[in-house]
Each structure stands twice: as structure tokens, then as C-alpha cells.
Chain A
Amino acid sequence: MVDVAVVDYGMGNLHSVEQALRKVAPDAEIIVSDDAGVIANAGRVVFPGQGAMPDCMRELEARGLRNAVLEAARDKPFLGICIGLQMLFEHSAEGDVAGLGILRGEVVRFASNQHDAQGNKLKVPHMGWNQVHHGDHALWHDIDQDARFYFVHSYYVCPRDAALVQATSNYPQPFACAVARDNLFAVQFHPEKSQTAGLKLLQNFMQWNP
């Protein structure tokens, strides 16, 4: 049994996630895998994703990994990242596609033509380091309030159940950038690219016993 499986469904670069996990857990056995059996036997599961959600859903199905992800999300410590957060919800406006429906709610696009306090246009994608206002979930242990994490996304999640929200960020309105339920935790930003604060969150995930 491996300690952590990073779910590989062919959507882009998982190298960063793997490297960052190795950095915070040098003794853990970490596998990037597209094998449902390996994922089923892993102690923890990381579910990343980048690109467009319709492509991610299609590739997940094509590789026969839908059930493996649903199973892992039921009882293992499970960390969704970026599109890996968005896919947990029921539906995305990106390509009008259904998600896995593990959590109730929608994924919607940032409005265009919004401006900051100085009158500059707010660009979409929301790209760069933004402040994360978080609660007291175990994954925030030793992470400063309003610490900055690296984001790159054009869509964000709107959970039906507000109690799921574990952190928000502003662009310019507040949006949910982390959600949790039982053994699930999922973030919109990229902890693997968020330097000290990001590595700390990954370390907290590796030590988390929900």
C-alpha cells in the first residue's frame, strides 16, 4: 500500500504536485497513478486538475477512473486541487458539463469587465498570489490568516451548503477557495506552487487524520 496516490488522468503536469509532496514528506511512498487498483489501495489521495473542466471530466471517464475517485472521496484523506476541486461539484458553466456531484453546488465564471479600487480592469483568469481568509480546519495549522497562495483560474465554486466553505478569497467579491467535508478537503489555489504556505498545507494534509 502506498502512502499517497496522485490521480493521473492525462491532464497536464503532475510533476509539481509530486515534487512538493516529496519535499514535505520525504519518507512517504508517493505514486502518480492512473491505475484504479493503486488508488484504491493508497492511504491518501490527491486529485489535481488543470486545463478545462470538460476535458478533465472526459479524460477521467475515458481512463475508467470515475469510480476510483468516488470511492477514495468516501473514506480516505482526500485533497482536491484547482479543477480537482471544481470536479467535486454537480455542474460547471465551463462547457455546461456535469461534475462528479460529490458536493452540491455550481462552478461559475468570474464576470468580465470588473475593476479594482484604482479603476484597473480585473483580468480573467484570476492569476497570481491572493490572500486566503481561512477558518480553523486542521489543514490550516500554522498558516497565517490571510496568507497568500498562487491561483490561476477563470471559474470558481459556489457550494450550496455554506458550511462547507473553509476559506475565501476576494476578486473583487469573496469566493470560496477551499471547501471541506469529513475526509475531503479541496482548494482552488495551487499549494504545490505557493511556496512556504503551500508546502505547509501539503504537510498538514500528509499528517491529517480525519
Chain B
Amino acid sequence: MLAKRIIPCLDVTAGRVVKGVSFVELRDAGDPVEIARRYDEQGADELTFLDITASSDDRGIIFRIIEQVASQVFIPLTVGGGVREVGDVRNLLNAGADKVSINTAAVLNPQLVADAAGRYGSQCIVVAIDAKQIAPNRWEVFTHGGRKATGLDVVEWAKKMQGLGAGEILLTSMDRDGQKNGFDLALTRAVTDALDIPVIASGGAGNLQHLADGVKLGGADAVLAASIFHFGEYTVQQAKQFMAQQGIEVRL
């Protein structure tokens, strides 16, 4: 059967992988190409790169990183951060990305998702949603790296994105991101049950049980994590063995 995926996430700025807590306080985690190679060797199912560079002057760096990774690592690569128009999608695909993740720009211009999916296919369009809980079982979409409230309901927004042609949803709980106290399972379950396309749970994984819970309790098709892998707490291989012991189908 189809395996649940484990996706290490590399937040990249100024050519380095960094990791923050709840979208702030960045900590250096190393060279992106080297880290990508290590995760590939450990059996990562995909890799996600988020370009969190603030200044547009440094935008070229991510292209060089993706080109280098794509010539050495033969698993799917998703790249996001700063994608504003169809041309950005094209440039990232040409650099070697297999999927492009769209976040703020999807809110500012939902037609971008339809245009990009129409041109390059739904299989390569991921819509990233940053979600913050506002009431029991209600979450709001935030943009601009989590700084700006949109008034949009996460589940409704995810359904709209599916309708416009998104092939997958990368769902990040802002409340949990970097907190290492587990995914927001109610959020994950609410979105995955509402959709026909795959959902990646993100934000909050602090141990291997959290990853397993994201799949078993949250119903996620894939789990994304950064800090538990970056700082050597666990390898991807250990995560997969743990999940397999819990009866989850994984690629070992």
C-alpha cells in the first residue's frame, strides 16, 4: 500500500538552513546541500525547502541551492517562499523543484493557484496554509510568515484551494510551530477529512510519537518536521522504524 511520507523541512535564508520558534528566533542548522544529502541517505521521502529570505536581493541563492540538490538527490523536492506569480513557479521548476508551494500569494490572488495548476499541473502545486486557532475547532488563515490575519476559515480556504487545482496542502499550525509539543491534531483531522487531496501536517513535531500521531490521529498523508532532524535528535530512519512499529505503512 501507499506509504505515509516523512518530509524534512529546510528553512533557508542567506544560503543557510535555519530554524525558528513560532516563526521567530532563528538558529543556524547548516549547509542546505549537505543536509539534503544526509536526509536522502537516511531515507527521507521528499524534501521541502522554504526560502525565508526577507530581502529580494538574495532570491537567487535558493535557485543555486535547488540546482545543486537536484543533481545529487533523486527524491521529490518542494520549494516555497516568495512565490508571487506564475513566472516564479516556472523558474523554480526549471531550477529542479518538482513542486512549488504557494502561501501568501494564494490569499492575495487565488487565481494564481488556478493559473499555475493549469499551466504546470496540479501535481506540482502545493498550497501552504499557516493556521492559528481562534476558537474551539476553528482556525484562521494567516499570511506574511504568520504576521497578518486574513479572516479566512482554514477548512473553507483549503477546500477552495483544492477546487482551484492545488494538488496538496501543507498545513502548518502557527500555535505549535517550534513548540515541540506535537501537531495540532484537531486541525489536521478537520482539514484532511474535508479534502480529497493529500494533507501534510506541519508545526510542532518534537518527538517520534508526535509524527506517528499526526498520521494515526490527525489522518495526515505526510508529516513534515525540521528541528527534530536538524539538530541530530533523531534520524529519518529512526522515525520510520518507530512509525512502522506503530503499524504505519512507511518506506523503509
Contacts and interface: CB of A to CB of B under 8 A. Distances in A.
A15 B94 contact: yes
Interface of B: 1-5, 40, 45, 70-71, 74-76, 93-98, 119-124, 167-168, 192-193, 195-199, 219, 221-222, 251
B1 A170 contact: yes
A128 B120 contact: no
Contacts, number: 110
22 contacts: A12-B120, A12-B124, A16-B74, A16-B96, A19-B74, A19-B96, A23-B74, A50-B121, A52-B121, A121-B192, A127-B123, A127-B167, A128-B5, A128-B45, A151-B2, A153-B123, A171-B1, A171-B2, A193-B76, A193-B98, A194-B75, A195-B74
A32 to B, nearest CB: 12
Interface residues of A, number: 43
Interface string A153-188: 110000000000000001110000000000000000
B179 to A, nearest CB: 26
A195 B197 contact: no
A193 B2 CA distance: 16
Interface of A: 11-13, 15-16, 19-20, 22-23, 50-52, 55, 112, 116, 120-131, 148, 150-154, 170-172, 190, 192-195, 198-199
Given A51-B121, A52-B121, A193 B45 contact: no
Nearest to A194: B74
Contacts of A19: 70-71, 74, 96
A129 B122 contact: no
B94 to A, nearest CB: 7
Nearest to A83: B121
A15 B67 CA distance: 9
